[in-house]
Each structure stands twice: as structure tokens, then as C-alpha cells.
Amino acid sequence: MKIPLLLTLFPLLMPASVYAGTVLYTDSHHPPRNADASVAVIYLDGPEQLQAQIFGALPSDPDEAARQAKAIIRSPQWREHEQQLTTAWRAVVRARELGIKKVPAVVFDDQDVVYGTADVAQAAALRAQGGR
């Protein structure tokens, strides 16, 4: 089962205001620092990690892999997995809409971006200095 097929299953539209405030866009290699509960932390590699967690290592035989994937999709837990995947992919789409090209990136009020640090306090200080 290819990932693009999974993506077609989920609506990827979300209101722009969902993450207004301070948002750290990062990945599993750049954990957040100095981020309090008011900071949304979005892992852009989250969808891939979640898919790996849900589907595991699929067999190399395409027919067997399809059977295994279909069994997971038909399972009672699928509804919860589907919601988690939808949320994770929506966050990735939002990062694209904002023009985030690399991580880590701290975004303030959907306008100001500080790249290169997952330390939210440091990013806020750089922003206050005008990015210098």
C-alpha cells in the first residue's frame, strides 16, 4: 500500500487559525526546548512515524502486504488511527501553507519565523531583537 493512497483517504483542509500563537515545527531529531503548554509542537515527521507504528513493517510480497494493510484498516482501532493520521497530515499541510522549508522553525502568530532552533525561548529572544 502506497502512502499517496493513504493521503487520498483524508480531508486535508483546516482553518488557518487552528495553530495561531506560537508553533514549533520540528522533527524527531530536534526535540523542543523551553516550550510551555501554550506552544503547539508539530512534528513534521509525525505522519511517517505514526504510519510505521500503525502498519509496522509490511511484507515485501505485495499481495501479502495488501492483505495485512487491509486487515489493519478493517480493525476496530482503525477509526482512532485514521483520526491520528488526519491530524498529523493536517499539521504538515499547514506548515506547507506557511512556507516552512526546514526544521526546526518557530512561528509566531502565523507571521514571524525563526529558523534553526527548537528552543522556543531563544527563538522569542531572536524575534524580539528583530532577527539579528
pLDDT digits (tens, 9 = 90+) for 86-97: 999 999 999 999
pLDDT-wise least confident of 13-22, 50-59, 94-103, 104-113: 13-22
- Number of structural domains, the chain? 1
What pTM was computed for the model? 0.76
User: What is the spatial order of strands in the sheet that 112-115 belongs to?
Assistant: 39-43, 22-26, 105-108, 112-115
Is residue 2 domain-resident? no
For residue 12, the surrounding DSSP H or E stretch is: none
Is residue 98 domain-resident? yes
Amino acid residing at 123: A
pLDDT tens digit sequence for 68-82: 999 999 999 999 999
Is residue 4 domain-resident? no
Is residue 87 domain-resident? yes
